[in-house]
Amino acid sequence: MNRILIMGPPGVGKGTQAERLAQHLGIPTISTGDLFREEVRNETPLGVRIKEIVASGAYVPDEVTNELVAERLAWADARDGFILDGYPRTVDQVRALDHILAELSAQLDAVVVLEADHGELQERILLRAAEQGRSDDTPEVVARRLEVYAQATAQLISAYDARGLVFHIDGTGLPHVVEARIREALDH
């Protein structure tokens, strides 16, 4: 399984687990958050817009996200597989991803859904904000993100579950323990 989507609420460890799994499989991690932060860091017109949207706790519009993901999936290093982190987040993005992958003659192999208690997630995010200086991780924004995630992703998980692609993984515990759970689930 080399074309994997990793999902879960903010702070559950998607980025950490995506990187660990990508290293194990020898494929790239494609994080919409990283793509967005690169645009913001480079102060592109799109980056300025993204910064305002993220600061409000909202998600970047689908058309922008879809374009960035399509461009990144076309890179040679993603030809034999990838791990998507943070995309898709809407039903329209699921359709867009299906279209992007069809154009690349590819399809998803698995959807890993990391799960954790919301109280633990808030603690993790606020700690990450302090450690990494991430100004977009305030308590108000975190609460809003968790709310938006819960509302938006239930139907995405159901859609992928109907395709038989979903693996629900307990995202609590040390990173190597969570990684072992993911690898075991994907190996079966």
Whether 130 is covered by a domain: the verdict is yes
Whether 72 is covered by a domain: the verdict is yes
* Residue 172 main-chain phi, psi, to 5 deg: -95, 155
Whether 40 is covered by a domain: the verdict is yes
Is 124 part of the annotated catalytic residue set? no
Whether 187 is covered by a domain: the verdict is no
**Active-site position among 51, 124, 145, 181:** 145
What pLDDT does 169 receive?
Answer: 96
**Active-site position among 37, 128, 144, 183:** 128
Whether 15 is covered by a domain: the verdict is yes
Is 134 part of the annotated catalytic residue set? yes
Domain span at 166: 3-181
CATH code for position 43: 3.40.50.300
- Total domains present in the chain: 1
Whether 36 is covered by a domain: the verdict is yes
Helix-strand-coil split of the chain, %, nearest 5: 60, 10, 30
Give, rounded to a whole angstrom, the gap between the first and last alpha carbons of the chain. Answer: 11
Alpha carbons 94 and 159: distance in angstroms, whole number: 9
Is 89 part of the annotated catalytic residue set? yes
Place of tokens 């687990």: 17
Alpha carbons 153 and 129: distance in angstroms, whole number: 24
Whether 172 is covered by a domain: the verdict is yes
Taking only the tens of pLDDT, the chain with its 188 residues reads 699 999 988 888 888 999 999 999 999 999 888 888 888 999 988 888 888 888 888 878 888 889 889 989 999 999 999 999 978 988 889 999 999 999 999 999 999 999 998 888 888 888 887 888 777 777 888 888 888 888 878 889 999 999 999 999 999 989 999 999 999 999 87
* Residue 84 main-chain phi, psi, to 5 deg: -90, 130
What pLDDT does 106 receive?
Answer: 93
What pLDDT does 81 receive?
Answer: 95
Is 128 part of the annotated catalytic residue set? yes
